[in-house]
Amino acid sequence: MDSFGFSTAELRLLRRLDSPAKIQDFLNRLPMNFADSPVLSPRMVLRERRCQCMEGAMLAAAALRLQGRPPLVLDLTSEDGDDDHVLALVRERGCWGAISKTNHAVLRYREPIYRTIRELALSCFHEYFLNRNGRKTLRSYSRPINLARFDSRGWMTDEEDVSYIPDYLYTVPHTPLLRPWQINRLRPADPIERQAGRMVEWQRDARKNRRDGQ
Protein backbone atom coordinates (compact mmCIF):
# COMPACT_ATOMS: atom_id res chain seq x y z
CA MET A 1 0.00 0.00 0.00
CA ASP A 2 1.32 3.45 -0.91
CA SER A 3 2.58 5.41 2.09
CA PHE A 4 2.51 8.72 0.13
CA GLY A 5 5.78 9.69 1.80
CA PHE A 6 4.50 9.49 5.39
CA SER A 7 6.70 7.99 8.07
CA THR A 8 5.74 4.78 9.85
CA ALA A 9 4.62 6.73 12.93
CA GLU A 10 2.56 9.15 10.83
CA LEU A 11 0.89 6.29 8.98
CA ARG A 12 0.11 4.53 12.24
CA LEU A 13 -1.68 7.61 13.54
CA LEU A 14 -3.54 8.39 10.32
CA ARG A 15 -4.69 4.79 9.82
CA ARG A 16 -6.27 4.81 13.25
CA LEU A 17 -8.55 7.52 11.90
CA ASP A 18 -10.44 4.91 9.89
CA SER A 19 -13.80 6.66 9.62
CA PRO A 20 -14.95 10.23 8.86
CA ALA A 21 -16.21 10.56 12.45
CA LYS A 22 -12.81 9.61 13.90
CA ILE A 23 -11.07 12.10 11.62
CA GLN A 24 -13.45 14.82 12.79
CA ASP A 25 -12.89 13.92 16.43
CA PHE A 26 -9.12 14.17 15.90
CA LEU A 27 -9.40 17.58 14.26
CA ASN A 28 -11.60 18.81 17.08
CA ARG A 29 -8.84 18.00 19.56
CA LEU A 30 -6.24 20.06 17.70
CA PRO A 31 -5.85 23.69 18.80
CA MET A 32 -6.69 26.34 16.23
CA ASN A 33 -3.82 27.70 14.16
CA PHE A 34 -4.23 31.48 14.13
CA ALA A 35 -1.11 32.18 12.07
CA ASP A 36 -1.75 33.54 8.58
CA SER A 37 1.28 31.73 7.17
CA PRO A 38 2.79 29.35 6.39
CA VAL A 39 0.00 26.97 5.36
CA LEU A 40 0.84 23.64 7.01
CA SER A 41 0.79 20.33 5.17
CA PRO A 42 -0.80 17.27 6.83
CA ARG A 43 2.67 16.19 8.03
CA MET A 44 3.27 19.58 9.62
CA VAL A 45 -0.16 19.59 11.24
CA LEU A 46 0.68 16.26 12.86
CA ARG A 47 4.03 17.63 13.96
CA GLU A 48 2.84 20.99 15.29
CA ARG A 49 -0.56 19.80 16.56
CA ARG A 50 -2.48 22.83 15.32
CA CYS A 51 -4.46 23.73 12.20
CA GLN A 52 -6.97 26.09 10.61
CA CYS A 53 -9.76 25.19 8.18
CA MET A 54 -7.62 24.72 5.05
CA GLU A 55 -5.03 22.70 6.95
CA GLY A 56 -7.70 20.61 8.66
CA ALA A 57 -9.37 19.87 5.32
CA MET A 58 -6.04 18.74 3.83
CA LEU A 59 -5.27 16.49 6.79
CA ALA A 60 -8.76 14.99 6.59
CA ALA A 61 -8.36 14.45 2.84
CA ALA A 62 -5.05 12.68 3.41
CA ALA A 63 -6.57 10.43 6.08
CA LEU A 64 -9.50 9.62 3.79
CA ARG A 65 -7.05 8.77 1.00
CA LEU A 66 -5.43 6.16 3.21
CA GLN A 67 -8.90 4.57 3.44
CA GLY A 68 -8.97 4.32 -0.36
CA ARG A 69 -11.16 7.38 -0.85
CA PRO A 70 -10.30 10.30 -3.15
CA PRO A 71 -8.80 13.32 -1.31
CA LEU A 72 -11.55 15.81 -2.14
CA VAL A 73 -12.08 19.31 -0.75
CA LEU A 74 -14.78 21.93 -1.27
CA ASP A 75 -14.19 25.69 -1.21
CA LEU A 76 -16.93 27.99 0.10
CA THR A 77 -16.63 31.70 -0.66
CA SER A 78 -18.13 34.67 1.13
CA GLU A 79 -18.48 38.42 0.79
CA ASP A 80 -18.43 41.57 2.89
CA GLY A 81 -15.11 40.96 4.57
CA ASP A 82 -15.88 37.48 5.87
CA ASP A 83 -13.47 34.55 5.45
CA ASP A 84 -13.86 31.68 3.01
CA HIS A 85 -14.09 28.13 4.37
CA VAL A 86 -12.79 24.78 3.12
CA LEU A 87 -14.27 21.34 3.82
CA ALA A 88 -12.99 17.83 3.20
CA LEU A 89 -15.62 15.86 1.30
CA VAL A 90 -16.97 12.43 2.17
CA ARG A 91 -19.25 10.39 -0.07
CA GLU A 92 -21.22 7.41 1.19
CA ARG A 93 -23.74 5.50 -0.93
CA GLY A 94 -24.09 8.43 -3.29
CA CYS A 95 -24.62 11.04 -0.58
CA TRP A 96 -22.20 13.83 0.37
CA GLY A 97 -20.96 14.85 3.80
CA ALA A 98 -18.03 16.89 5.08
CA ILE A 99 -15.30 17.12 7.70
CA SER A 100 -14.57 20.63 8.94
CA LYS A 101 -12.07 22.41 11.17
CA THR A 102 -13.52 25.57 12.65
CA ASN A 103 -13.17 27.56 15.85
CA HIS A 104 -16.89 28.21 16.12
CA ALA A 105 -19.97 26.31 17.23
CA VAL A 106 -21.18 26.22 13.63
CA LEU A 107 -19.87 25.16 10.19
CA ARG A 108 -18.83 21.81 11.62
CA TYR A 109 -19.18 18.15 10.59
CA ARG A 110 -21.81 17.32 8.00
CA GLU A 111 -23.34 13.86 7.97
CA PRO A 112 -23.26 12.18 4.53
CA ILE A 113 -26.95 12.77 3.84
CA TYR A 114 -26.86 15.38 1.06
CA ARG A 115 -27.73 14.32 -2.47
CA THR A 116 -25.71 17.03 -4.19
CA ILE A 117 -22.77 19.34 -3.51
CA ARG A 118 -25.18 22.26 -3.72
CA GLU A 119 -27.33 20.78 -0.95
CA LEU A 120 -24.23 20.34 1.19
CA ALA A 121 -23.10 23.93 0.58
CA LEU A 122 -26.58 25.26 1.36
CA SER A 123 -26.52 23.44 4.70
CA CYS A 124 -23.90 26.01 5.77
CA PHE A 125 -25.79 29.08 4.57
CA HIS A 126 -27.74 30.11 7.68
CA GLU A 127 -24.72 29.50 9.92
CA TYR A 128 -22.47 31.72 7.82
CA PHE A 129 -22.87 35.30 9.05
CA LEU A 130 -20.94 38.21 10.50
CA ASN A 131 -21.22 38.58 14.26
CA ARG A 132 -21.05 42.36 14.12
CA ASN A 133 -24.25 42.83 12.10
CA GLY A 134 -25.77 39.41 11.40
CA ARG A 135 -25.27 39.73 7.65
CA LYS A 136 -25.38 36.32 5.91
CA THR A 137 -22.31 36.17 3.69
CA LEU A 138 -21.99 32.74 2.05
CA ARG A 139 -22.16 33.23 -1.72
CA SER A 140 -20.66 30.40 -3.76
CA TYR A 141 -19.07 26.96 -3.80
CA SER A 142 -16.51 25.19 -5.96
CA ARG A 143 -16.73 21.83 -7.60
CA PRO A 144 -15.04 19.02 -5.61
CA ILE A 145 -11.28 19.50 -5.93
CA ASN A 146 -9.13 16.36 -5.94
CA LEU A 147 -5.90 17.18 -4.13
CA ALA A 148 -4.15 14.32 -5.93
CA ARG A 149 -3.43 16.94 -8.60
CA PHE A 150 -0.72 18.21 -6.22
CA ASP A 151 0.97 14.83 -5.67
CA SER A 152 3.99 15.90 -7.73
CA ARG A 153 4.59 18.66 -5.19
CA GLY A 154 4.33 16.33 -2.21
CA TRP A 155 1.44 18.25 -0.63
CA MET A 156 0.81 15.68 2.11
CA THR A 157 4.36 15.70 3.50
CA ASP A 158 5.77 19.04 2.34
CA GLU A 159 7.66 20.67 5.21
CA GLU A 160 7.46 24.12 3.64
CA ASP A 161 4.52 26.42 2.94
CA VAL A 162 1.77 24.71 0.88
CA SER A 163 -0.10 27.93 0.15
CA TYR A 164 -0.16 26.87 -3.50
CA ILE A 165 -3.26 24.82 -2.62
CA PRO A 166 -5.46 27.68 -1.30
CA ASP A 167 -4.03 29.84 -4.09
CA TYR A 168 -5.33 27.29 -6.59
CA LEU A 169 -8.76 27.21 -4.92
CA TYR A 170 -9.10 30.94 -5.57
CA THR A 171 -8.76 30.29 -9.31
CA VAL A 172 -11.29 27.50 -9.84
CA PRO A 173 -14.83 28.29 -11.01
CA HIS A 174 -17.41 28.75 -8.26
CA THR A 175 -21.16 28.40 -8.54
CA PRO A 176 -23.32 31.16 -7.00
CA LEU A 177 -25.76 30.05 -4.31
CA LEU A 178 -28.04 33.08 -4.57
CA ARG A 179 -29.54 35.38 -7.16
CA PRO A 180 -29.16 39.15 -6.74
CA TRP A 181 -32.79 39.64 -5.69
CA GLN A 182 -32.35 37.00 -2.99
CA ILE A 183 -29.24 38.72 -1.63
CA ASN A 184 -31.12 42.01 -1.41
CA ARG A 185 -33.85 40.41 0.72
CA LEU A 186 -31.69 38.52 3.20
CA ARG A 187 -32.71 38.96 6.82
CA PRO A 188 -29.87 39.33 9.33
CA ALA A 189 -29.24 36.58 11.84
CA ASP A 190 -31.11 37.02 15.11
CA PRO A 191 -29.31 38.63 18.06
CA ILE A 192 -29.25 35.30 19.91
CA GLU A 193 -27.64 33.65 16.86
CA ARG A 194 -25.03 36.39 16.79
CA GLN A 195 -24.42 35.90 20.50
CA ALA A 196 -23.91 32.16 19.92
CA GLY A 197 -21.67 32.99 16.95
CA ARG A 198 -19.21 34.67 19.31
CA MET A 199 -18.50 31.37 21.04
CA VAL A 200 -15.06 29.99 20.20
CA GLU A 201 -13.42 26.69 21.03
CA TRP A 202 -9.86 28.03 21.15
CA GLN A 203 -8.86 31.49 22.34
CA ARG A 204 -6.86 33.66 19.98
CA ASP A 205 -3.61 35.06 21.32
CA ALA A 206 -4.46 38.58 22.51
CA ARG A 207 -1.45 39.87 20.58
CA LYS A 208 -2.98 38.73 17.28
CA ASN A 209 -5.45 40.80 15.34
CA ARG A 210 -8.97 39.57 15.83
CA ARG A 211 -10.99 38.69 12.73
CA ASP A 212 -14.66 37.89 12.32
CA GLY A 213 -14.44 34.85 10.08
CA GLN A 214 -14.63 31.09 10.04
Flag whether pLDDT at 201 surpasses 90: yes
Which residue range(s) make up the domain with 40?
8-197
State the pLDDT at residue 208. 46
Residue 148 lies in a domain: yes
Per-residue model confidence (pLDDT) at position 2: 82
CA nearest neighbour of 127 among 162, 91, 100: 100
Residue 118 makes CB contacts below 8 A (sequence gap 6+) with 141, 175, 177
Assigned domain for 112 exists: yes
Instruction: Tell me how far apart the terminal alpha carbons of the chain are, to the nearest angstrom.
Output: 36
Using pLDDT thresholds of 50, 70 and 90, give the confidence band for residue 1: low
Is residue 193, in this structure, part of any structural domain at all?
Answer: yes
Residue 1 lies in a domain: no
Residue 203 resides in a domain: no
**What is the average per-residue pLDDT within 52-71?**
97
Closest by Cα among 78, 109, 112 to 97: 112
- The share of the chain scoring above pLDDT 70, in percent, equals 95
Confidence of residue 81 (pLDDT cuts 50, 70, 90): confident
The pLDDT mean for the chain works out to: 94
- pLDDT of amino acid 212: 40
> Is residue 207 pLDDT above 70, yes or no?
no
Instruction: Check if the beta carbon of residue 54 is closer than 8 Å to that of residue 99.
Output: no
Does any domain span residue 3? no
Tell me the C-alpha distance between 60 and 72, whole Å.
9
pTM of the model: 0.93
Q: Provide the number of structural domains found in the chain.
A: 1
Quickly state the pLDDT bin for 51 (edges 50, 70, 90): very high
Residue 205, in any domain of the structure: no
Q: 3-state class of 175 per DSSP?
A: strand
Mean pLDDT of 63-75: 97
Query: Which pLDDT belongs to residue 7?
Result: 97
